Amino acid sequence: MADPLTEPMVSAARKNDPAALRAVYESLAPAVVGYFRSKGCEDPEALTQDVFLTVFSRISTVRGGAAGLRTFAFSVAHARVVDDHRRRERQPSPAPYDPQLDTRSSDSAEDTVLHSGLVAAQMLDGLTPGQREVLLLRIVADLSLEESAEIMGKTVNTVKQLQRRALLALREQIAGKEATEDGQHVQQPQ
């Protein structure tokens, strides 16, 4: 098959003849797109347009007739392939998200509240009934010392003492739980 890119066509294209420029594009563009596709470029059509912008802006300086123009076009295309590969190396493509492969999970707000409520209930179970009652009235019901003492039928000083002892007992429970957890973390690597 004869080369559709002819010397007269290249001469006319050098003079910016629109029909000749179109003929040059139609002659070379399919091969340039194929070159980009074979090299695995992400957007071969866009790169082809970029090649021809460069070729047409410098066509008057190209020497060697049709063969020289073809060589120049593929030299520019090769440079775009190198640029494309370098750009992709600098910007890795994002991995697609597959929900079937994602094993991460987190508790819902409801689960967190229910769990913390169970932990709080377990901690309160470690208190005496009087200590538990004082904390519930003072913290949950947000009552004053006087109001709590009146409800419990105790003096204000007794309520203060029960509250102090309850908070100390809770602090000891928390410290004991943290020590147990720290001990487990230390023992795991062995």
Q: What is the 3-state secondary structure (H, E, C) of 19-32?
A: HHHHHHHHHHHHHH
- Per-residue pLDDT tens over the stretch 22-81: 999 999 999 999 999 988 888 999 999 999 999 999 998 988 888 899 999 999 999 999
Q: What is the pLDDT of residue 107?
A: 79
Q: What is the CATH number of domain 7-90?
A: 1.10.1740.10
Residue 174 is predicted with a pLDDT of 84
CA 156 to chain CA centroid, Å, is 57
Contact 116, 107 (CB under 8 A): no
Dihedrals phi, psi of 29, to nearest 5 degrees: -60, -45
Q: What would you report as the CA-atom Rg of the chain, rounded to the nearest whole angstrom?
A: 40
What is the full DSSP assignment across 17-85?
Answer: -HHHHHHHHHHHHHHHHHHHHHTT-S-HHHHHHHHHHHHHHHGGG--SHHHHHHHHHHHHHHHHHHHHH
Cα–Cα dist 47/31, whole Å: 12
pLDDT at 93: 67
Residue, of 11 and 188, whose pLDDT is higher: 11
CB 62 within 8 A of CB 24: no
d(C-alpha 112, C-alpha 118), whole Å:
10
Residues of the chain with CATH 1.10.1740.10: 7-90
What fold, for 114-187? Arc Repressor Mutant, subunit A (1.10.10)
d(CA 54, CA 76): 8
- CATH code 1.10.10.10 region(s) in the chain: 114-187
- CA 118 – CA 98 distance, rounded (Å): 35
Contacts of 94 (CB under 8 A, 6+ apart): none
Of all helices (H) and strands (E), which one includes residue 148? helix 145-152
Region 124-134: what's the mean pLDDT?
Answer: 88
The model carries a pTM of 0.48
pLDDT computed for residue 184 by the predictor: 63
Q: Is the pLDDT of residue 153 over 70?
A: yes
User: What is the pLDDT, as a whole number, of residue 52?
Assistant: 94
